[in-house]
A and B are shown apart, each in its own frame.
Chain A
Amino acid sequence: MDVRLQTSMVFHLDKCIGCHTCSIACKNIWTDRKGAEYMWWNNVETKPGTGYPTAWEDQSKYKGGWEENGGNPSLKMGSKNSRLLNIFHNPDLPKLDDYYEPWTYEYEKLFDAPEGSDQPTARPISMITGKHMEVEAGPNWDDDLSGSPVYAANDPNLDSLTEEQRQELFDIERLVFFYLPRICNHCLNPSCVAACPSGAIYKRGEDGIVLINQDKCRAWRMCVTACPYKKTFYNWSTGKSEKCILCFPRLETGQAPACFHSCVGRIRYLGGLLYDADKLPSSVQVPDGQLVDAHRDIILDPKDPKVREAARKNGIDDRTLEAVERSPVYKYVMEWKLALPLHPEFRTLPMLFYVPPMLPVMAKATEGVYDTANDELFSPIEKARLPIEYMASLFSAGNVDHVTLSLKKQYAVRLFKRLETVGDVDEKVVQFAMNECNMTAEEAETIYRLTSLPTMDERVVIPPMHREEALQMLNDNMWEEKGSAGLGKRQLPVRGN
């Protein structure tokens, strides 16, 4: 057993209000720079929709992630030899148009414009060329289903639906959407690391954060293609690739990452997970349908004495283990089995998990009266407006059982609390719902508490980073680092360096 620590995340989609505050917090801190204008390390997508970059989930076009390849996963972008042959021209890079051309407005014109018969206007100007531009798309152009016939209709996940289901989905009365915030998944089997010809990308041993060494990056941009989530970006100004760093300078000083900290809906949970690195290869060699189970199989119980023993042997500190025990991520992913990985079929073992959203109540307008379509207060999962197959395509590689269980549990918790606080539902119905997913009253209560009333310290349990121990391995002179944290040496990334 080779126990390692991963800083891991859960996004509770049922709570996401799609306000993009996380994106803005991230933008202001990390990507408000020349060359990074088009990057959104954190972005929020509307589903069904094509997301950012457009249709990123369609790997037949973007060639990201791993291919099953008969139980021996290989990079979808090609073999080592073909990558070497294409090293000076990577043919599978997203176009700027697939992201969007970043723009701002000529605000100063509102003040400077000479007096005229018309109001002064602030025309959009490209942040890349500096010239006036016609805005045609943006990173959340399909927000709240805007442009649905174009963007929502081309969501790659809709391929899992029947033609009838697709048509129903876009019926005016059934139109539905939810939000999907995305950051780097800090995968256990990261394809970006595997694809880098310079060895510039690495997974930090002490916490599993995936980083790009700006000194080593040589701008081959293989990681941009290899990442199936398209969360590595190429900075055209510095000539280096960059990505979400999970705000590690904040984590090292005990603060939540900026997107977690600013989250209005409080949907984001962060905590440590222990996993068995020995089991890692076999967990990506299973058929699609078993991927979620295999993924959960490598995550270890931090309370198991054997695991703790092996963890200590691997140099994981007792205080870290204590934090991992309180990890909200472990509860959502392992104990309650509510949270699922996004697109496990890419086989990168993403360590950001999502609680699939309960969808809104079915409603129908009859003779001008808008009424809920069924008698029950919460619509059962079977009558969900978004077919379960769609959710399964997103969160469990097509395995409907995992998504069904997660949604039924959430449904049962809602009924359970409704009975307790209001009492207008039939107790038998509640009991039936809870039995269906083997849930005790105690579990329902803890799920409810961590979902609805968690404090900041319950949502974000940062395992002590013990940066000093990691540094000790690299540097003899510890006094240099005393009182410092984060980025370490502050040398600007420079093209050609």
Chain B
Amino acid sequence: MSAKLVRETSFDVSLITKLLIISSAILIFFALGASAQEMGAKAFESKCFSCHNIGGGDKQGPDLKGLTDRRTLPWIEEFTKAPLAMSKKDPIAAELFTKYAPTIMPDQPLAPDEFEAIIELIKNLSSKNEMFTPAGAKLYRAIQPGDIDGGWRYFTGQTKFENGGVACNSCHTVNNVGRLGGGTLGPDLTAANIKYRDPELILILQNPNFPTMTEMFRDHKLNDEEIVQLFAYLQNSKAENPHAPIVATAASGATDPKFLAVGFAITILSLFGLNFIWRKRHKGVRADIVRRSKI
């Protein structure tokens, strides 16, 4: 009695176990496929979309639709890792740089699985003839009147970023940001919203993917409120300056003559100041005595 019972029970258990294993395997298979796709989309959105699209036409960089048909995989991999270096030896790369000048694609040290996922995404969308649509790239609320001023405060560092990010004007400038302007390490952001469309600009603010900024903002992400206000401010910078240069990418390297002039003036003033403070300093006795005696 007891033996039979045991056998029956054991049969039941093994059946349930098998069913469970099979179903979970199927689930995991689908989940993995889905997450791989999702990862590709996410990586593309955060790291490529500000300059590239798939099926949406050329932006700062070329449309990547059908990329895998045009180029070999090793070429794509090498180009992604070090575009500028490659442009110096590869004729196709050089041609691309000429075509999209003055924009220079920054080096993208992608993780291998990230790279593969993005390639898969490009293949997938190209074959289906679909356009990539970013999932994020939205402001969490609508822009309100006070946001432009608030954004200016964030830009100039008068309000500190919550996560401790560096104020924008340490490296960037915008026309009319202030008397002395901002930094010259990064590009001039005047009319940045002409260079980048709104979702791209929002994406950059959410996840800045430029060589210097990636490192600086990795642990100091901007929060949603800061993004809204900065976005409003950068959008407005165009409205104020209709004649501002639309393309201003890399730091020019030239020093602002105004800045030089102010520095020079301060130096001269300081020298006069020092001369005044120490006006009673010892200026020598002997030469004076000799001079007075000759007269």
Contact = CB atoms under 8 A, between A and B. Distances in A.
Interface in A130-148: 136-137
Nearest to A54: B286
B278 interface: yes
Contacts of B283: 95
Contacts of A153: 293
A94 B282 CA distance: 7
B282 A97 contact: no
Contacts of B284: 95, 97-98
Nearest to A86: B278
Nearest to A55: B285
B293 A150 contact: yes
A150 B289 contact: yes
Nearest to A96: B284
Nearest to B286: A54
A495 to B, nearest CB: 23
Interface in B277-295: 278, 280-287, 289-290, 293
Interface residues of B, number: 12
Contact of A54 (B281, B285, B293): B285
A54 B290 CA distance: 11
Nearest to A137: B286
Given A89-B278, A91-B280, A61 B285 contact: yes
A150 B285 contact: no
A62 B293 CA distance: 20
Nearest to B282: A92
B282 A95 contact: yes
A151 B285 contact: no
Contacts of A496: none
A58 B286 contact: no
Interface string B255-295: 00000000000000000000000101111111101100100
B286 A62 contact: no
Interface string A71-98: 0000000000000000001011111011
Contacts of B280: 91
B287 A50 contact: no
Contacts of B282: 61-63, 91-95
A484 B276 CA distance: 54
A150 B290 contact: yes
Contacts of A97: 284, 286-287
A91 B281 contact: yes
A149 interface: yes
Nearest to B274: A89
A431 interface: no
Q: Which of B282, B287, B289, B293 has the most CB of A within 10 A?
A: B282
Contacts of B281: 91-92
A64 to B, nearest CB: 11
A409 to B, nearest CB: 36
Contact of B286 (A63, A91, A92, A98): A98
A154 interface: yes
A54 B284 CA distance: 9
A462 B142 CA distance: 96
Interface string A60-71: 011100000000
Nearest to A141: B286
A479 to B, nearest CB: 50
A321 B137 CA distance: 97
Contacts of A93: 282
A414 B170 CA distance: 88
Contacts of B287: 97
Given A95-B283, A95-B284, A97-B284, A54 B278 contact: no
A48 interface: no
A154 B289 contact: yes
Contacts of A150: 289-290, 293
A30 B287 CA distance: 29
B278 A151 contact: no
A47 to B, nearest CB: 16
Contacts of B290: 136-137, 150
Given A97-B286, A98-B285, A149-B293, 12 more contacts: A58-B285, A61-B282, A62-B282, A63-B282, A91-B278, A91-B281, A95-B282, A98-B284, A136-B290, A137-B290, A150-B289, A153-B293
14 contacts: A50-B286, A53-B285, A54-B289, A61-B282, A62-B285, A63-B282, A91-B278, A95-B284, A97-B287, A98-B284, A98-B286, A137-B286, A137-B290, A151-B289
7 shortest A-B CB distances, which residue pairs? A91-B281, A54-B286, A95-B284, A150-B293, A92-B282, A91-B278, A54-B285
